[in-house]
Structure 1
Amino acid sequence: MDMTLPHGSRHNSTIRSSNGCWTCRLRRKKCDENRPVCDVCAALHITCHYGQDKPEWMDGGARQEEMAERLKHEVKENAHLRREVREVRAIHVPGELLGATTSESLNSEIEPCPEASAIAIRLQRGADCKIVSKEIHDNASFGRSCTVLITFYLENLLPFLFPFYCPSPLEGGRSWILEMMISSPVVRQATLCQSSYFFSLAQGTANHHAVWETVLSQTRDAFGVLRKSLQVIDGSSITEHLHGAVRIMASVMQMQRFEITVLCFDNCQAHLNAGLALFKQLLESPGPVESAGPSSNFNSVVNRLGPPTWISPAQDVKVQSAEQAAFRFSSALLIFDDIVASTVLQEKPRLYEYQHCLLSDSNGTGPLLNLETVVGCQNWVLLQISEISALDAWKKQCKTAGNLDVIDLVRRATAIKEFLETHLTRLEAESSAIAQNGNSLLDAFNVHYYQHSKTSVCQSRLTTRVWAHAALIYLIIVVSGWQPASVEVRYHVGRVIDILTHAASPKALLRTMVWPFCVAGCLAEPAQEADLREMVLALQPPSVFGTVRKALEIMENVWRNRDTSDSASRDLAMCFRSQGELVLLV
Structure 2
Amino acid sequence: MDIDFPQGPRQSATRSSNGCWTCRLRRKKCDEKQPVCDTCATLLITCHNAPDKPEWMDGGPRQEEMAERIKREVKEKAHFRLRRWERHIPNDSASSDSRSDGRNPGPEQPDISSQRGADCTLLPDDARGSLGFGRSDTVLLMFYLENVLPFLFPFYRPSPLEGGKSWILEMMLSSAVVRQATLSQSSYFFSVARRTLSCEAIWDTMLAQIKETFEVLRQSLEVINVSNITEHLHGAVRILASIMQLQRFEIAVLSLDNWRAHLNAALALLEQLLYSSENAEEAGVRVLFDSLVDRLGPPTWILPSGCVQFPSAEQAAFRFSAALLIFDDIIASTVLQERPKLYEYHGSLLGAADGEPPVNLEAVVGCHNCVLRLVGEVAMLDAWKQQCRRAGSLNMMELVDLATPIKDALDKHLSLLASRPGANPNADEDILDVFRQDYWQQSRYPASQTTLVTRVWAHAALLYLSVVVSGWQPANTEVRENVGRIVELLSHEISPPAMLRTMAWPFCVAGCLAEPARESEFRGMVDALQPPSVFRTVRKALDIMEDVWRNRGAVDSMSRDLAACFRSQGDLVLLV
The normalised TM-score by structure 1 is: 0.75
Query: Secondary structure in 1 aligned to 2:394?
Result: coil
8 Å contact 1:496–1:520 — kept in the other structure? yes
1:562 to 542, 552, 558: 552
Question: Contact 1:120–1:179 at 8 Å: present in 2 too?
Answer: no
Matched, 1:193 2:193: no
Among 229, 234, 237, the residue aligned to 1:238: 229
Q: One-letter code of the match for 2:398?
A: D
User: Is the alpha carbon distance of 1:439 and 1:325 closer, same or farther for their aligned partners in structure 2, counting shifts above 3 Å?
Assistant: closer
Instruction: Find the aligned partners of 2:95 and 2:226 in 1 and give their Cα distance.
Output: 19
Q: Give deviations 1:106-133, integer Å, cap 9, x for gaps.
A: xxxxxx986329999999xxxxxxxxxx
After superposition, what is the alpha-carbon deviation per residue over 1:473-517, rounded to whole angstroms, capped at 9, x for unaligned?
Answer: 000000111111111111101111111111111000001110000
**Which residue type is aligned with residue 494 of structure 2?**
A
Say if 2:517 is the partner of 1:517: no
1:116 equivalent in alignment to 2:140: no
1:216 is matched with which residue: 189, 207, 219?
207
Q: CA deviation at 1:143?
A: 1.1
Question: How far does the alpha carbon of each residue in 1:386-428 deviate from its partner, in whole angstroms, 9 at most, with x for none?
Answer: 0000010001101111112222211110000000000111100
- Residue correspondence of structure 1 range 48-59 to structure 2 within 5 A: none
Is the alpha carbon distance of 1:282 and 1:445 closer, same or farther for their aligned partners in structure 2, counting shifts above 3 Å? same
Contact 1:114 1:242 in 2 (8 A): no
Q: CA deviation at 1:236?
A: 2.0
Q: 1:530 — aligned with what? A: 520
> CA shift at 1:288, angstroms?
7.0
- Does the CA-based 8 Å contact 2:141-2:183 persist in structure 1? yes
Match of 2:474?
484
Is residue 508–residue 541 contact of structure 2 (8 Å, CA) maintained in 1? yes
Structure 2, unmatched stretches of 5+, are: 1-91, 99-116
Q: What's the CA shift for 1:276?
A: 0.7
Distance in 1, Cα, partners of 2:460 & 2:362: 17
Distance 1:203 1:444, change over 3 A: closer
Paired AA for residue 524 in structure 1: A
Aligned length: 468
C-alpha contact 2:511 2:545 (8 A) present in aligned 1: yes
- Percent of pairs with identical residues: 60
Q: Which string of whole-angstrom CA distances, capped at 9 and with x for unpartnered residues, describes residues 491-550 of structure 1?
A: 101111111111111000001110000000001111100110011011000000010010
CA contact (8 A) 2:297 2:312 kept: yes
1:146–1:192 contact (8 Å) kept in structure 2: yes
After superposition, the Cα gap between the structure-2 partners of 1:153 and 1:439, relative to the gap in structure 1 and judged at 3 Å, is closer
1:285 paired with 2:270, answer no
User: Are 1:335 and 2:326 an aligned pair?
Assistant: yes
**Long gaps (5+) in structure 1:** 1-93, 101-111, 124-134
2:398 is the counterpart of 1:408 = yes
Cα separation, partners in 2 of 1:260 and 1:436, compared to 1, 3 Å: closer
Q: How far off its partner does 1:161 sit?
A: 0.3
1:507 matches 2:497: yes
Q: Distance in 1 between matches of 2:276 and 2:574?
A: 28
CA–CA distance in structure 2, aligned partners of residues 420 and 543 of structure 1: 35
Deviation at 1:237, TM superposition (A): 1.9
Q: Distance in 2 between matches of 1:239 and 1:452?
A: 48
Q: Give the deviation of 1:456 after TM superposition.
A: 3.0
- After superposition, the Cα gap between the structure-2 partners of 1:302 and 1:464, relative to the gap in structure 1 and judged at 3 Å, is same
Contact 2:275/2:281 (<8 A) preserved: no
Residue by residue over 1:559-582, the C-alpha shift from the partner in whole angstroms, topping out at 9 and shown as x without a partner, is: 000121445411000000112222
> Separation in 1 of the partners of 2:452 and 2:252?
22
Q: 1:97 Cα deviation (Å)?
A: 6.8
The residue correspondences of 1:293-442 to structure 2 (distance < 5 A) are 293-363=284-354, 365-432=355-422, 434=424, 437=427, 441-442=431-432
**2:262 is the alignment partner of 1:271:** yes
Contact 1:152 1:199 in 2 (8 A): yes
Q: Report the alpha carbon displacement of residue 453 of structure 1 after superposing the two structures with TM.
A: 11
2:96 maps to 1:98: yes
Question: SS of the counterpart of 2:190?
Answer: helix
SS at match of 2:374: helix
Task: Decide which moves more: 447-456 or 562-571.
Answer: 447-456
Residue 209 of structure 1 and its aligned partner are, at CA, apart by 3.6
TM-score by length of 2: 0.76
For 2:94 and 2:439, the matched residues in 1 are separated by 45
One-letter identity of the residue aligned with 1:250: A
Q: C-alpha separation between the residues in 2 aligned to 1:122 and 1:540?
A: 46
* Residues 421/182 of structure 1: CA separation in 2 closer, same or farther (3 Å cut): same
Q: Which protein is bigger by CA-based radius of gyration?
A: 1
* 2:160 corresponds to 1:169: yes
